[in-house]
Amino acid sequence: MSECLTVRVTYTLETPAPVLAAEPAPRRARIVTGDRIRLGLLLAGTAVLYLWNVTINGMANQYYAAAVQAGSVDWKALLFGSLDAHNFITVDKPPLSQWVMGLSGQVFGFGSASMLVPQALMAVGAVALLYGAVRRISGPGAGLLAGAALAVTPVAVLMFRFNDPDAAMVLLMTAAAYCTVRALNGGSARWLAAAGVALGFAFLAKMLEGALVMPALGAAYLVAAPIRLRTRLLHLLGAAVAFLVSAGWFVVLTMLWPASSRPYIAGSTDNDFMNLVLGYNGLARVLGHGHTGGVFGDGHVGVAVLGGSGGHPQGLARLVSGEFGYEIGWLVPGAALATVLTVALRGRAPRTDPVRAGAVLFGGWFLVDGLVLSFMHGTIHPYYSLSIAPPVAAIFAIGVGQAWSRRESFWSRAVLGTILLAAGLWGWWRLGGGAVSSPALRWAVFAAATLAPTALLWSWTSRRRRYVAPTLLAVALTAALGGPTAYAVATVASPHQGIGPSVGRPGTGFGGGRTTVNARLDALLEETDTPWSAAVDRSTSAAGLELATGTAVMAIGGFSGTDPTPTLQQFQDDVAKHRVAYYLAPPSAGRVPSAVVNGKRDHGGADVSSRAHADILQWVRSRFPATSVGGVTAYDLLAPGRSGAT
């Protein structure tokens, strides 16, 4: 009997064991599979939104399009980011984004699609990386919210379908944030070094702006990495070395490569890359005139204030007002509240708490970059705010996720309601003006933004709270994202070209290149067989001609026409060697509508570039015959010079 009992007990204990042990595995698999499906849907939706009719933007910014065209046919032009295939001058930014688009042009042929599709795919990558970073901090739900918020941010929709370098820069900044989050998990030197490499290449996309996230990444690792302080400091030193190597190799290349054998570094005063970094694209951007790399004809220093910057006064309100407000400002109030409240909720957590580390990382990125954008004195466009789109989306999602995870507490529900109420009501306010007008949408957002967060406070008294609360959360989040989504859709549906594109409506920013067709001039330049078909003041004018004719055009003075290249002697040598066929006199359409020269605004439409290279224009006029070609004065530099001219 005792033996029988033993057998029965053994059978009873052992038989169910495999069943109980096997049950959790399918559940875990279902959860993982569900997360992957939701992530796949998010990325697929992002791809559709950003790739949909992407060629509606045509050549987008002709200035960068010309560089992409040059890089698609010449390897040296691709390497240095030259504006023309014969490598006279570069664009005024590092060449990383041109590498991507130029290589696409080499593989698929130059065109709008081969240029803009890689940019759109960068958006998908940025959303995936942000999801991955936030998921490790606050769970898959918060990760999905962060990715969705980034995907529908209007400035992201605008610039990831454009050919400016901001898209590549922000993708790499987001990659650096993801690598830092991975490094925080176990104190990984390799992941932190990978973050340094990503930031180094972000520097090669848009210089110092790409490094503005560095203080936040360093602070998060220094505060929260689960290793000794000495080891943390050594890891940060290693990441700094990785940054210097990944950014510095190109700087060294420009120094070692003979200047006579490479294009002039546009925006610099002395053909030096670091001059561009610290001057024109450094202090000049933050501090304004007096710190730029460009030099005017009288030797003084100045900066042109381009379209899109004049209506945005300095201060904390800049990011939520005017065009900035429509491009990035939708979630800024909610994100600011989320940063403060998340840190408060995690105030007593251990030093290595990943949520607080995430708040330091993304909140610090938002703070540092946002303050720089708010108080910049120099040239600024609202689309520069793309650099804070990932941290705004991330910290908003982390705040919502943390408050939701503690929803049993009334105070956590109050925090959640406050964040959602701020985001929703601000969206309602912003929908009251601007390019997208829909009273029905606006008042639907208002109703959802006020009722749902308020009801969340009391939903826990309901017997069906398990279903009511998630529904209320979904309604409140829909209200918060309703405004930016409307502008994102309107932006996708409209063409955007030029240097200063805006969200929600079609438009051509200042200096977008040629906007009219001059068939006679195009035919004239296409018939030339010289290295440069023509020389013309300013890169934007040259870019339009290059795209229209497929020829290389010498851009005298670079982007603003103030770069000290070529000198009169250099230009005379090129003409003597029959390297340039025509000189095109600066037309009135090429004048800067409003320029700041030596700190004073010139409202008379004076051509700033003509002041820097007037000697070339005077020499050409005194020596070569002129003819009008479709309203443009063209000087034939291959014709015999007039006797007695010097």
Question: In this predicted structure, what is the pLDDT of residue 513?
Answer: 57
Q: Give 280's pLDDT tier (boundaries 50, 70, 90).
A: confident
Average pLDDT over residues 457-465: 66
Q: Does the pLDDT value for residue 18 go beyond 80? A: no
Average pLDDT over residues 572-587: 93
Q: Does the pLDDT value for residue 590 go beyond 70? A: no
Q: Does the pLDDT value for residue 543 go beyond 60? A: yes
Q: Does the pLDDT value for residue 598 go beyond 60? A: no
- In percent, the amount of the chain with pLDDT more than 70 equals 83
Q: Does the pLDDT value for residue 424 go beyond 90? A: yes
Average pLDDT score over the chain: 86
* H or E, element range at 517: none
Q: Give 347's pLDDT tier (boundaries 50, 70, 90).
A: confident
Q: Does the pLDDT value for residue 20 go beyond 60? A: no
Q: Give 408's pLDDT tier (boundaries 50, 70, 90).
A: confident
Q: Give 599's pLDDT tier (boundaries 50, 70, 90).
A: very low
Q: Give 516's pLDDT tier (boundaries 50, 70, 90).
A: confident
Task: Provide CB contacts within 8 A for 68, sequence distance 6+.
Answer: 98, 101, 102, 105, 110, 115, 163
Question: In this predicted structure, what is the pLDDT of residue 557?
Answer: 95
Place of tokens 């110092």: 208
The ranges assigned to domains in the chain are 2-42, 52-265+308-492, 519-636
Count of positions (residues) in the chain: 646
Q: Give 458's pLDDT tier (boundaries 50, 70, 90).
A: confident
Mean pLDDT is lowest, of 25-29, 74-78, 363-367, for 25-29
Place of tokens 């705010």: 385
Beta bridge partners of 554: 535
Mean pLDDT is lowest, of 174-178, 398-402, 498-502, for 498-502
Tell me how far apart the alpha carbons of residues 157 and 259 are, in angstroms, rounded to a whole number: 39
Q: Give 602's pLDDT tier (boundaries 50, 70, 90).
A: very low
In DSSP notation, 47-87 reads HHHHHTTGGGGTTSSHHHHHHHHHHTT-HHHHHHTBSSTT-
Residue 10: CB atoms within 10 A of its CB come to 10
Average pLDDT over residues 479-486: 96
Residue 325: CB atoms within 10 A of its CB come to 22
Place of tokens 């042929």: 109
Average pLDDT over residues 399-417: 90
Average pLDDT over residues 480-499: 95
Q: Give 597's pLDDT tier (boundaries 50, 70, 90).
A: very low
Question: In this predicted structure, what is the pLDDT of residue 462?
Answer: 60
Between residues 196 and 587, which one has the greater pLDDT? 196
Question: In this predicted structure, what is the pLDDT of residue 286?
Answer: 66
Q: Does the pLDDT value for residue 559 go beyond 70? A: yes
Between residues 338 and 278, which one has the greater pLDDT? 338
Residue 339 contacts residue 399 (beta carbons within 8 Å) = yes
The amino acid occupying position 583 is Y
Q: How many CA atoms lie within 13 A of 644 on its CB side?
A: 0
- Condensed to tens digits (0 to 9), the pLDDT of residues 141-183 reads 999 999 999 999 999 999 999 999 999 999 999 999 999 999 9
In DSSP notation, 184-233 reads HHHT-HHHHHHHHHHHHHHHHHHGGGGGTTHHHHHHHHHHH-SS-HHHHH
- Condensed to tens digits (0 to 9), the pLDDT of residues 527-541 reads 999 999 999 999 999
Q: Does the pLDDT value for residue 588 go beyond 60? A: no
Question: In this predicted structure, what is the pLDDT of residue 70?
Answer: 98
Question: In this predicted structure, what is the pLDDT of residue 459?
Answer: 63
Question: In this predicted structure, what is the pLDDT of residue 313?
Answer: 80
Residue 20: CB atoms within 10 A of its CB come to 8
Task: Provide CB contacts within 8 A for 343, sequence distance 6+.
Answer: 356, 359, 363
Q: Does the pLDDT value for residue 465 go beyond 60? A: yes
Question: In this predicted structure, what is the pLDDT of residue 160?
Answer: 98
Question: In this predicted structure, what is the pLDDT of residue 620?
Answer: 95
Q: Give 33's pLDDT tier (boundaries 50, 70, 90).
A: confident
Q: Does the pLDDT value for residue 324 go beyond 90? A: yes
- In percent, the amount of the chain with pLDDT more than 90 equals 71
First to last CA, the chain: 125
Residue 566: asked if its preceding bond is cis (omega within 30°), the reply is yes
- Condensed to tens digits (0 to 9), the pLDDT of residues 430-439 reads 998 878 888 8
- Condensed to tens digits (0 to 9), the pLDDT of residues 196-252 reads 999 999 999 999 999 999 999 999 999 999 999 999 999 999 999 999 999 999 999
- Residue 365 in tokens: 């990125």
The candidate with the shortest Cα–Cα distance to 120, out of 199, 52, 205, 210, is 52
Tell me how far apart the alpha carbons of residues 151 and 125 are, in angstroms, rounded to a whole number: 11
Q: Give 451's pLDDT tier (boundaries 50, 70, 90).
A: very high
Residue 407: CB atoms within 10 A of its CB come to 18
